[in-house]
Structure formats: structure tokens, C-alpha cells
Structure 1
Amino acid sequence: MDMNFCIWGCGIRGKNIFHFMDKSNVRAFIDSSPSVQGTEYEGIPIISFERYLKDYQNCVVIVTPHYEHYEILSRLEKEHIEALSVLLLPPEIFEIPVPELFEIIEKKTKAEGTLFLYGLNLYSLLLLERFQQKCPVRVIPEEGAAEWLLRRTEVCFPGCLGNLDEVGENMLYLTSNGYEHLDIPVKNKAGLYDFMYDIKDYHNPQIEAYRGIHCGRRCFIIGTGPSLRISDLDRLKESGDICISVNGIFRAYDSTNWRPDYYLMGDRNRFEDLKDELLNQYQVKNMLVTDTCLRDRSFSKFQRYHQSFLQISPSCPPLFSDDFSYGAYAGGTITYDCLQFAFYLGCKEIYMYGIDFDCGEKEVHFIDSYSGFSAPMSARLYEQSRAQLAYETAERKAHELGIRIYNASRQSKLDVFERIDFDEVMSRG
């Protein structure tokens, strides 16, 4: 590919993407941290944005940071800087890399004749570069594709751009789950973004033991909002209801004999802060932790499950896992993973509790000593918007399967699920 790039962010995501690209086309990393500016990563300079404006403006910027992603894109757009987002990439490239991904894609596409890719973006450019030597590749730009990207692509890959009339009876591969909901007038369409069930290492056979284990039971998903009461946890202990909880809930353990039946953790920053306590002091029987937290590490007390970070937007709602032994789809909140897990357990009545869903001036929980990683306000607002879409997906899935989800939080701004009084639920026994 003759298109030159600067990767915004020399963190985990930026480095992961770099290793999937032709390194000769990456001119620099842009990073806001003065401590790394002026250094190098694998021979590639790490620069400030000001240095980019001075010396590298002919390069397309690839935006990688998770938080403030859209703010960076908006800033670049206002300054008329050509930029591409990583959010259309499969997470197997930018989140937890799968080195053999292109081999998996080659088998998945069964490329014979022309390979048709719908959507002009960073992902389709990587696929084009990879497969053009093996078979003819045609990229069908989506409506509204950026003019600058059309021009650059035609210069770098002459004759690669096509139109829908060419597809005919061939398979059209969508290069983003955002295209899934578009009215594309082609008979044969297939997604090329979700690899949950294609990668054998995602499957954890130990988790299969949980499938349907609580069939027909009711369960409570316990959040850690300020409305949580220790006395309510005591009542849940007495009732014997199935409980799933998350993150810093163990701060309640010194005040109650209640313990969750299942504990989930998905935030890698929080995990680094809390893992030693979870391993040595506050462990419960079933602790499930995402592969994004564990990375290449293994702890016998944690059961690994895969978490897939596909694009989420109002026009692109999150997917919902049908088999938790292969993993869960991320949705801006670990309680979305809990919902997918509760479905897998076979629970038919699910009560959300302690889900205040309120981003105030500071991050607050049920106890002042909650501690652990605290995300900035912009990040919390971003994740709450994603969580709203995820909860809406869960409600649709529940309706489809005849499962009821209620919000039994004592105070909450979450209005997706039917509200119900916690005391009333507990009085039913």
C-alpha cells in the first residue's frame, strides 16, 4: 500500500494495529504523552501532534484511543486532516490480536474469482492489500464515502473500486457490522467482522458446565452504585437467589456474609488495581475474567472468557452472545456481560439491582473505600451511551426468548427495563 499513515496512540491498540500493517507505510506514532515523544517504537518515531502538523501532514491519521476517540476524530475533521477510525476493524486486529486472522478470513471467504468487499475503510484497505496478489478484489464504497479516501484509494490501488451492479450472484462481504442494517440490494451478503465462533482459542470448555445450570431460576445482577444497601445483600443471602456481581463489590464482604454466586470483571485497568485482592483475600468460587484483562497470563482462580469489542453506535447496536463458552460481546458495561451470562445459566427472571446509571460530577459507588481505577468523566459518559444501546439489545433479546428483565434498583436513571420495587420482589420469596 503506497498510502502513508501516522498512528494516533502508541499504546496497546496502536502497537497491535502496527503489526498488521506494512510497516514501511507507517511514518510515525502520534502520542500526547511527553514521556514517549522523541522516542521510537520498532524504529518508528513517536511524535507530538504539533510535530505531525509540521512534518507529517501528508499522512493519513489512524485514530486508536478508546476513550476520547470521537473527540479526536472531530478535532482532525475540523482541521481538515484525513483520518480513519479503528472502530471498523475486527477486535482481533486492535484489541487482542490474532496473528492468523488473515488465514481465517481466507478460509471464511473461500475466495474463488473476485472477492467483493462492501465499505471503504481501514479494514477493507488492509484486506485489499493482503488479498490482491491472490485473487481479484473489488471494494464497493458505501454511500457517502469520503472523497479524499476515494481519491487516495484509486491512486494506490488503480481500478479496485467497483459498484453493486458487478456483484451479481457473488457473495458481498460486509467490512463493518454497521452495514448489517443497511438496505444493500444484493442477495448474498455475509459479515466479515465477527469471528467469535471462528477462533478455537476463544472457546472455554470449562464454562460449558454453566449452560442451563439454573434453568427457570430467578437471578439478581448486582451493580455497585450508591443506591446499593448492605442490608439488601443480607436479604439476598437469606433468600438463596442466584447472584452475579462485578468489579469492587468485594468491598461489601467485610459487612455481610453474602457473596455472589458468580463474579465478573472486564475492565483491564480496574483488574490491574484489584487482582491481588481478588486472588488473596476476596475470592469467591466462580470468578470469570475477560481475556482483555488476562492478556497472556493465566491464574487458576480465574476462569477466562472472551470479550469481543465490535463497533457500537445508534445505527449499529451490540450483538448478544448465544453461547457464553465462546464469549460475550462488549457493551460499555460489565453488567451487559452479566446479562449474557445469566441467559446462558438459564435464568428466566433477571433483576438488575444497584444500577444507578447516573454519571455525576465524580464516580461514586456504594462505599467510599471502593477504590480501584476511576475513569474520567468523558470516558464514563461515552461508556454510558454504549451501555444504553447494549441494554436495549438485551431487552429485545429477552422479549424474543420469553425472559423477563426488571430494574429493581432503589434509585436509577435506567429506563430500558420495567421498574419494580426491590422489597416487593423479595416479599414474593
Structure 2
Amino acid sequence: MPLKLDLRRKSGVMRSRLRYKAWSCTPEGRQNRERLLALKDKYEGRRCFVMGNGPSLLKCDLNRLAGEVTIVSNAHYLIWDKLAYIPTILTIEDRLVAEDRAATVKELSSILKVFPYDLKRHLGEASESKLYVDFERQHSPFPQFSSRLDRLAYWGGTVSFLNLQLAAYLGCKQIIMIGFDHNYQVPKDQIVNHVIQSQEADVNHIHPDYFGPGYRWHDPNVARMEIGYECAKRELERRGVEVLNATVGGHLEVFRRVPYESLF
């Protein structure tokens, strides 16, 4: 990276970190930090299901997860009418999702939500059910993994990387991933600056409206995601946390596979 660009990037990261620290000194920010601290090891020793949003997720009997610790992301709420429960935590880290889904996400009051602080302008004030983390999107070396979300979280190429950091912070000792098809049909002729403006029903996710007509999504970089997953696997195993992949089919082979039904 040219020196000027590198200095500009580092300057931008520093400004973002300083803004978060300044906000953390406000009454709203202090309450946010207290609530983040209260989450540390809240589910110590329990297992956690991290749900992807691939179509294979619907091949699982998700109602068997009632009472489990569950972390979901983005527009997962589009299938909540099929569930007998509300998942434990919802995350969003992608700016496009935050912008396009802001109105609906703000109305979700029955679930704890965890977002990067730089999305606050889209997703609203922190509250008892909405927490913000200091989120570093550009860092070197890439990727880096944090188990202390009250201090800092890292971007890792996919929202699931944030979710794995969150599961570790919650104290979960086994993380089970489901719905990670890890494969996308991408309309290459519609990509502009790595962004796709959807013109048709979504075939890559759990609902046709997930990234349906009018919604924007980033061109998925599967190779970069795998780099993130490899990092998460190393760091979690070093902490004594087991990560399993119970996805029905799919192409993610970083984590040891187990049949979904064998978990119950």
C-alpha cells in the first residue's frame, strides 16, 4: 500500500476510535459499556448456535433451538414467523444492510442487538436492547480476533466473524454453525464498485426478499471469508472453544462437520 494511502487509512481508524472513546464518556456511552460488560461470560460453559443465512438453514428444524443461545444476523427476522421463539442476539456489521434495513431493525425490541458504533447514525441510540461496539474495519495484519467486545471487535470479511467473537465473549465453550452454504450466485454484470443493486428475488439466502429487488449487497469474497474463519478457528481452539459445522451440505470445510440431528 502506498505510504500516503496507508497514513490516510491509519488516520481514519484513529479518528473512529477516538469518536467511540469520546462517546463512551457520555451518559449513553457509559450505559452502553456497562451493558456490554454485563454480557461477558453471561453464557459461560454453554453451547451457542451461530446461524448463517444460506438456504440450507431452512433444512434444519430450527425450533429445536428454543432455549439455546442463538446468534443471528442481518435480515434473519424474515423467517421469525416460522419460529416458536426469538433468537438471543441479532447482529449487523455491513453498512448497506444497516442503511437499507434501518427502519425495520429499529422496531425490533424483543431481541438484543449488537452493532458496530460506526453504524449508529443509521440504527439509532443505544439502549437496553441495542448495544454498540468499537469496531475496527481496517487493520494490519488481517484478520485479528477479539474475545473482549467491551474493548474492540474486528471485521473479518463477513458478519459471522463478528458473531464468532461475540460467542467467545459470551463465554460459550462450543459454537455450532448452521446455514453456512458458503456459495453464491453472483450477477457479475451488475457489480459496481463491489456493490450489487438487486433486481430479482434472492436465491442465496433464507428468503427471496433478503436481498430482493431494490436491496444492495456487497460482492461476496469467499476466499477472504475463509481466511477469517481459519483465524477464528485457531484463536477459539487456543481458548479451548470447540467450533463445529452442522450445516446441511454447503461448501464450508474449515470447521469439523457434524450432523445437525446428532446434536439433540
TM-score (norm: length of structure 1): 0.51
Give CA deviations for 1:175-201 in whole Å, capped at 9, x if unaligned.
xxxxxxxxxxxxxxxxxxxxx9xx565
Instruction: State which of 10, 27, 43 in structure 2 corresponds to 1:214.
Output: 43
Matched, 1:255 2:97: no
Task: Mark the CA change 1:98 to 1:423 in structure 2 (over 3 Å): closer, same or farther.
Answer: closer
Identity of aligned residues (%): 26
Match of 1:138? none
CA contact (8 A) 1:332 1:390 kept: yes
Distance 1:99 1:419 in 2: 38
Amino acid at match of 1:253: W
Match of 1:53? none
Instruction: State which of 119, 128, 132 in structure 2 corresponds to 1:304.
Output: 132
Partner SS state of residue 214, structure 1: coil
Give CA deviations for 1:224-257 in whole Å, capped at 9, x if unaligned.
11111175221112xx211011001000012222
Matched, 1:285 2:111: yes
CA contact (8 A) 2:173 2:242 kept: yes
Distance 1:374 1:397 in 2: 32
Matched, 1:403 2:231: no
Partner SS state of residue 412, structure 1: coil
Match of 2:209? 369
Match of 1:332? 157
Equivalent residues in 2 for 1:35-114 (5 A)? 86=5, 88-89=6-7, 93-94=11-12, 97-98=15-16
Instruction: State which of 260, 266, 271 in structure 1 corresponds to 2:93.
Output: 266
Match of 2:254? 416
Distance 1:352 1:233 in 2: 12
Task: Mark the CA change 1:337 to 1:99 in structure 2 (over 3 Å): closer, same or farther.
Answer: closer
CA contact (8 A) 1:310 1:318 kept: no
Task: Mark the CA change 1:229 to 1:200 in structure 2 (over 3 Å): closer, same or farther.
Answer: same
Distance 2:243 2:155 in 1: 19
Deviation at 1:284, TM superposition (A): 3.0
Match of 1:36? none
- Could you list the runs of 5+ residues in structure 2 that have no partner in the other structure? 188-201
Amino acid at match of 1:344: Y
Deviation at 1:389, TM superposition (A): 1.1
Amino acid at match of 2:210: Y
Distance 2:150 2:4 in 1: 30
Task: Mark the CA change 1:90 to 1:206 in structure 2 (over 3 Å): closer, same or farther.
Answer: farther
Task: Mark the CA change 1:287 to 1:90 in structure 2 (over 3 Å): closer, same or farther.
Answer: farther
- Return 364-373 or 408-417, whichever deviates more: 364-373
Partner SS state of residue 186, structure 2: coil
Distance 1:326 1:233 in 2: 32
Distance 2:139 2:18 in 1: 21
Task: Mark the CA change 1:85 to 1:221 in structure 2 (over 3 Å): closer, same or farther.
Answer: farther
Partner SS state of residue 176, structure 2: strand
Deviation at 1:84, TM superposition (A): 5.8
Task: Mark the CA change 1:265 to 1:91 in structure 2 (over 3 Å): closer, same or farther.
Answer: farther
- Could you list the runs of 5+ residues in structure 1 that have no partner in the other structure? 1-72, 74-82, 102-195
Deviation at 1:327, TM superposition (A): 2.5
Partner SS state of residue 375, structure 1: strand
Count of aligned residue pairs for this structure pair = 238
Matched, 1:320 2:238: no
Partner SS state of residue 97, structure 1: helix
Give CA deviations for 1:310-364 in whole Å, capped at 9, x if unaligned.
346xxx4411113111221100111111111111111001001111111223561
Aligned-residue Cα RMSD (Å) equals 2.7
Ranked by relative contact order (alpha carbons within 8 Å, sequence separation 6 or more), the top structure is 2
Deviation at 1:308, TM superposition (A): 0.4
Partner SS state of residue 380, structure 1: coil
Deviation at 1:302, TM superposition (A): 2.1
CA contact (8 A) 1:350 1:404 kept: yes
CA contact (8 A) 2:13 2:138 kept: no
Distance 1:90 1:354 in 2: 38
CA contact (8 A) 1:96 1:292 kept: no
Instruction: Pick the structure with greater CA Rg.
Output: 1
Task: Mark the CA change 1:413 to 1:299 in structure 2 (over 3 Å): closer, same or farther.
Answer: same
Equivalent residues in 2 for 1:374-385 (5 A)? 374-376=216-218, 379-381=219-221, 384-385=222-223
Distance 1:325 1:91 in 2: 23
Task: Mark the CA change 1:416 to 1:277 in structure 2 (over 3 Å): closer, same or farther.
Answer: same
Match of 2:70? 243
